[in-house]
């Protein structure tokens, strides 16, 4: 518990910095058990600004004056106020390298926009192998990531339980994808018909009383609707303006693309469920408010594993950017017995190897909560990805994260984000590594449903295969290994 006086100082220290911001966006946490949420809100009436009650004592306030915010912080019902820190994906596929960016713009400038628009720009599709009658996944043989972690050895024990749910907190999921649809979690409380014979998923009623109306397929916290659908990549827009659509769909495939269905690929846990929670826009941006709500949704609606390929870059030296709200949400997830798998992050251009010395570590991966597993990325040769953050004491394990094949939006499969106008970008990142570990946790937990999150985490870390590239770089000095894990 934090002292109130300290909080005011903390709040004021930020307010100076934020005064320059055109728009103020804050999260208000009410005191535990305080039931005067409405009277608190009525305090704000007559002031200009927007109030959004997020549920369970959380309120988002935007565009209030500093004076009003200060008065709010002194209200006895308020535990603390913090900025609604931006969070996002850890890699943006906008061309970062200025030389390549200039080259791309030069090459584009030789064409009219009409010509550029007419250039074929579909998401790259992996060549389809003929479907196999024996049930095998035709692209499994090309999934180096599954081979390196010996996933198929683990599937001899189990392919996962359909009761086991992994939440993907990301840009959404193409839940119509042939290899994901059979493994999509559906909210049982919004399925079927209500007393009046109407479809519960479209009756406009929160049938299960979980605070979300018609949330059959999960929830879109960014757009505030019940369709957490991922968007397809437009390579031209991506290269010019950045963003990262399709990211959540790619992550989902490596957790739980359906296995042994004669189609496409297989995820690490080929028979578990994926819960689609969209809180990051196709531009790769989200906020703490939406992350907190997505984490709580996952935990409250039955997910045992949360796959988190996103983050923010951390604290200032004075600690004023400590994201208390996000920390509380992860503590809540721990208290509810869930594992929180987090991407270790990708170093910024030209730096970024040794996050141990970095004063602004990527969070939430660097948070010191026991239920977090922080994941670095390795390539086909089991070398550390050139971009991958690492930390001898802060990063736990390596998993495949360079040129990874998975499901992509529009019912496709690819190991490339785009292949356009001479720019060939593969799906790389600790973002891609993280879902492999999330899938592993779900697979092991399926076999041992009575084990605790701590036992599952210990098994994953103890069974890591030692590898020279991770010596001194992660706590386990090893790579995820499903064969060994399933023998634990």
Task: Catalogue the active-site residues.
Answer: 170, 247, 431
Stretch that binds Ca ion, among 162-170, 186-194, 307-315, 425-433 (CB under 5 A): 186-194
Of residues 249-308, which lie at the interface with Ca ion (CB under 5 A)? 258, 261, 263-264
In whole angstroms, the minimum distance from the beta carbon of 260 to Ca ion comes to: 7
In whole angstroms, the minimum distance from the beta carbon of 141 to Ca ion comes to: 12
Figure out which of the listed residues 79, 179, 282, 334 binds Ca ion, where binding follows CB under 5 A: 179
DSSP sequence for 393-438: TT--EEEE-SS--EEETTTEEESEEEEETTEEEE--SHHHHHHHHH
Check whether the bond before 364 is cis (ω within 30° of 0).
Answer: yes
Nearest to Ca ion of 198, 348 (CB atom): 198
Residue 278 CA to residue 221 CA, distance in Å, equals 6
In whole angstroms, the minimum distance from the beta carbon of 136 to Ca ion comes to: 9
By the rule CB under 5 A, 214 interacts with Ca ion: yes
User: Which residues make beta-bridge pairs with 86?
Assistant: 287
C-alpha closest to that of 397 among 327, 341, 338, 333: 341
Q: Are 475 and 190 in contact (CB under 8 A)?
A: no
DSSP sequence for 134-172: TS--TTGGG-HHHHHTTHHHHTTT-S--TT-EEEEEES-
Of residues 31-60, which lie at the interface with Ca ion (CB under 5 A)? none
Nearest to Ca ion of 217, 292 (CB atom): 217
By the rule CB under 5 A, 419 interacts with Ca ion: no
Q: Are 266 and 296 in contact (CB under 8 A)?
A: no
Stretch that binds Ca ion, among 17-25, 211-219, 343-351, 456-464 (CB under 5 A): 211-219
Sheet with 78-83, strands from edge to edge, namely 50-55, 58-62, 25-30, 78-83
Stretch that binds Ca ion, among 2-10, 200-208, 364-372, 445-453 (CB under 5 A): 200-208
Q: Identify each DSSP E strand in 206-248 by its residue range.
A: 219-220
In whole angstroms, the minimum distance from the beta carbon of 69 to Ca ion comes to: 32
Nearest to Ca ion of 446, 484 (CB atom): 446
Nearest to Ca ion of 132, 452 (CB atom): 132
By the rule CB under 5 A, 207 interacts with Ca ion: yes
Stretch that binds Ca ion, among 69-77, 190-198, 223-231, 280-288 (CB under 5 A): 190-198
Q: Quickly count: other Cβ atoms within 10 Å of residue 359's Cβ.
A: 9
By the rule CB under 5 A, 398 interacts with Ca ion: no
Q: Are 343 and 311 in contact (CB under 8 A)?
A: yes
Binding-site string for Ca ion from residue 133 to residue 152, where x marks contact by CB under 5 A and - marks none: ----x---------------
Nearest to Ca ion of 184, 342 (CB atom): 184
C-alpha closest to that of 432 among 381, 464, 455, 398: 398
**The token pair that represents 113 in the structure block:** 């926009």
Stretch that binds Ca ion, among 107-115, 201-209, 442-450, 460-468 (CB under 5 A): 201-209
The residues binding Ca ion (CB under 5 A) are 137, 179, 190, 200, 203, 205-208, 210, 212, 214-215, 258, 261, 263-264
């Amino acid at each position: 518990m934090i002292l109130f006086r300290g909080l005011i100082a903390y709040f004021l220290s930020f307010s100076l910095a934020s005064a320059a911001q055109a728009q103020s966006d804050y999260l208000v946490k009410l005191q535990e058990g305080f039931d005067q949420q409405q009277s608190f809100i009525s305090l704000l009436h007559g002031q200009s600004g927007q109030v959004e009650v997020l549920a369970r004592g959380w309120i988002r306030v935007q565009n209030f004056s500093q004076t009003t915010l200060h008065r709010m912080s002194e209200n006895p019902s308020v535990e603390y106020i913090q900025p609604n820190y931006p969070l996002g994906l850890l890699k943006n596929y906008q061309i970062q390298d200025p030389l390549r960016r200039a080259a791309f713009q030069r090459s584009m400038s030789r064409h009219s926009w009409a010509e550029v628009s007419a250039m074929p720009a579909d998401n790259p599709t992996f060549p389809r192998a003929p479907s196999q009658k024996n049930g095998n996944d035709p692209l499994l043989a090309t999934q180096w990531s599954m081979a390196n972690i010996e996933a198929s050895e683990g599937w001899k024990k189990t392919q996962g339980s359909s009761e086991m749910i992994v939440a993907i907190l990301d840009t959404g999921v193409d839940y119509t994808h042939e290899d994901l649809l059979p493994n999509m979690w559906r909210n049982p409380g919004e399925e079927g018909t209500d007393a009046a014979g109407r479809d519960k998923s479209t009756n406009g009623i929160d049938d299960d009383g979980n605070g979300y109306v018609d949330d059959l397929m999960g929830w879109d916290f960014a757009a505030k609707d019940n369709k957490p659908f991922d968007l397809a990549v437009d390579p031209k827009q991506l290269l010019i303006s950045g963003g990262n659509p399709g990211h959540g769909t790619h992550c989902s495939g490596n957790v739980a693309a359906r296995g042994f269905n004669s189609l496409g690929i297989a995820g690490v846990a080929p028979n578990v469920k994926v819960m689609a929670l969209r809180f990051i826009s196709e531009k790769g941006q989200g906020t703490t408010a939406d992350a907190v709500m997505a984490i709580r949704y996952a935990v409250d609606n039955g997910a045992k594993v949360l796959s988190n390929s996103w983050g923010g870059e951390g604290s200032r030296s004075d600690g004023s950017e400590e994201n208390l709200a996000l920390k509380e949400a992860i503590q809540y997830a721990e208290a509810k017995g869930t594992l929180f798998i987090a991407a270790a992050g990708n170093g910024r251009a030209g730096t970024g190897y040794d996050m141990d010395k970095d004063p602004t570590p990527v969070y939430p991966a660097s948070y010191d909560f026991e239920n977090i597993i922080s994941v670095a990325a390795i390539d086909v040769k089991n070398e550390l990805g050139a971009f991958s953050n690492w930390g001898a004491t802060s990063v736990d394990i390596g998993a495949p994260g360079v040129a990874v094949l998975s499901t992509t939006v529009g019912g496709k499969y690819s190991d490339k984000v785009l292949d356009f106008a001479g720019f060939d970008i593969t799906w790389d990142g600790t973002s891609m590594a993280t879902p492999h570990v999330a899938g592993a946790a779900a697979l092991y937990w399926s076999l041992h449903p009575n084990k605790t999150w701590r036992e599952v985490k210990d098994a994953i870390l103890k069974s890591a295969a030692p590898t020279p590239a991770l010596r001194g770089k992660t706590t386990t000095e090893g790579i995820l290994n499903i064969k060994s894990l399933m023998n634990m």
